[in-house]
């Protein structure tokens, strides 16, 4: 592609993600299978307008997410499979959150925020911060939690890979701070059978018991869900996992979270921070884009290893090492107690 074409392609990126979003939102990917199906039958099944449905399916076909066959029929492609509800690595939740109305709306404040230096898009749009929004808006909360488990479907594999070979023998109790529905912790408990675990979360996440993953993965005897606020007090444990937590918060807020863990934990405690790590200027990386999303969604940011070392140190921890998966976009930073 020419340089002009590449720039043009970026300009129209939103069209693609919105077309995909609408396909997911309307249930297209759960209606179409490998057997070619007429667009009008899809429309009838989903209660949609047939002519406009055909045009939507054609656009999805043009992006490789469906296959357009003769006579207005469509079948599923291997790429489109990832958008099905029942796919083990489903990206449905991620799509519904990241291209849904709230996250679409908050991006419009980006120019003003960068001008003013005030990172408060959610407040500008809704009058409150993101985790108040999950608390107040049931539908958004459901989509948010679904998206976190959806992200985890792939991120858990990266974290397990990064931690393969890590010495878990002295970790009898692992606490996952802001552990969502327990996707990562339950998978760690499956792999390390000597360990028990605690998912420490907001009540809005844990109250819907049918969605919690420990019972589904057969580790409910060793996994408890504890409601609380990481800015007040956290449970005592040998080690603490935090996946996609610190990137939600400013340096000051991260130091408070890490200090609370420091206060509650024994001398031998470890912290394991799973995040997108920002590489040097010569390397293009997804973290540099995710960072702009964090600018819109919360008070946080994506950080370099050096920036993580600094906040660890300010909260009484020392940076030990960064563990990288063989492939994948997130790494795990280990910290141990400084004093």
Give catalytic residue positions. 247
β-strand pairing of 331-337 with 317-323: antiparallel
- Binding-site string for ligand SAM from residue 257 to residue 296, where x marks contact by CB under 6 A and - marks none: ----------------------------------------
Smallest gap, in angstroms, from Cβ of residue 181 to ligand SAM?
A: 8
User: What angle, rounded to 10 degrees, do the helices at 50-62 and 13-25 form?
Assistant: 130
Residue 68 engages ligand SAM in binding (rule: CB under 6 A) = no
Binders of ligand SAM among 235-264, rule CB under 6 A? 243-245, 248
Q: Which residues pair with 335 in a beta bridge?
A: 271, 319
Separation between Cα atoms, residue 215 and residue 22, nearest integer Å: 33
Stretch that binds ligand SAM, among 72-80, 98-106, 116-124, 178-186 (CB under 6 A): 178-186
- The residues, any chain, with a CB within 8 Å of residue 238's CB and separated by 6 or more, are 170, 171, 172, 173, 174, 265, 266, 268, 269, 270
Separation between Cα atoms, residue 302 and residue 151, nearest integer Å: 16
Which residue among 24, 43, 59, 230 contacts ligand SAM (CB under 6 A)?
230
Binders of ligand SAM among 146-165, rule CB under 6 A? 148, 151-152
41 or 142, CB closer to ligand SAM? 142
Tell me how far CA of residue 335 lies from CA of 71, 170, 239, 241, 310, in angstroms. Answer: 60, 15, 10, 11, 11
Which SS3 state, helix, strand or coil, does residue 18 take? helix
Q: What sign does the dihedral 32-38-44-47 (CA atoms) show?
A: positive
Which SS3 state, helix, strand or coil, does residue 172 take? coil
Residue 266, by phi and psi: left (phi above 0), alpha (psi -120 to 50) or beta? beta
140 or 192, CB closer to ligand SAM? 140
Which residue among 23, 80, 93, 179 contacts ligand SAM (CB under 6 A)?
179
15 or 231, CB closer to ligand SAM? 231
Smallest gap, in angstroms, from Cβ of residue 205 to ligand SAM?
A: 5
Which residue among 143, 162, 205, 261 contacts ligand SAM (CB under 6 A)?
205
Smallest gap, in angstroms, from Cβ of residue 180 to ligand SAM?
A: 4
List interacting residues with ligand SAM (CB under 6 A).
131, 148, 151-152, 178-180, 201-202, 205, 229-231, 243-245, 248
């Amino acid at each position: 592609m020419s340089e002009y074409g590449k720039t043009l392609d970026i300009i129209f990126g939103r069209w693609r993600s919105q077309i995909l979003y609408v396909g997911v939102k309307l249930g297209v990917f759960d209606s179409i299978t490998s057997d070619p199906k007429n667009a009008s039958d899809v429309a009838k099944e989903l209660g949609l307008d047939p002519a406009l449905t055909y045009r939507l399916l054609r656009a999805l076909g043009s992006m490789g997410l469906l296959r357009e066959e003769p006579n207005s029929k469509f079948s599923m492609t291997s790429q489109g499979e990832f958008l099905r509800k029942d796919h083990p690595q489903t990206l449905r939740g991620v799509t519904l959150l990241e291209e849904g109305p709230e996250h679409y709306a908050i991006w419009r404040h980006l120019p003003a925020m960068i001008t003013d230096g005030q990172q408060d898009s959610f407040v500008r749009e809704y009058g409150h911060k993101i985790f108040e929004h999950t608390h107040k808006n049931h539908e958004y909360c459901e989509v948010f939690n679904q998206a976190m488990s959806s992200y985890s479907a792939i991120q858990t594999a990266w974290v397990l890979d990064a931690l393969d070979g890590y010495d878990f023998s002295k970790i009898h109790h692992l606490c996952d701070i802001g552990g969502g529905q327990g996707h990562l912790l339950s998978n760690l408990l499956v792999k390390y059978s000597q360990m028990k675990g605690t998912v420490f979360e907001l009540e809005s996440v844990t109250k819907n018991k049918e969605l919690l993953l420990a019972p589904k993965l057969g580790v409910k005897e060793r996994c408890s869900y504890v409601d609380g606020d990481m800015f007040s007090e956290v449970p005592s444990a040998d080690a603490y996992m935090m996946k996609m937590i610190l990137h939600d918060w400013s340096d000051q807020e991260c130091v408070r979270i890490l200090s609370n863990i420091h206060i509650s934990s024994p001398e031998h405690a470890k912290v394991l921070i799973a995040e997108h790590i920002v590489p040097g200027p010569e390397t293009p990386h997804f973290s540099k884009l995710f960072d702009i999303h964090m600018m819109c969604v919360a008070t946080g940011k994506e950080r370099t290893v050096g920036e993580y070392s600094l906040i660890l140190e300010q909260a009484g921890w020392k940076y030990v090492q960064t563990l990288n998966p063989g492939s994948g976009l997130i790494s795990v930073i280990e910290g141990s107690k400084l004093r």
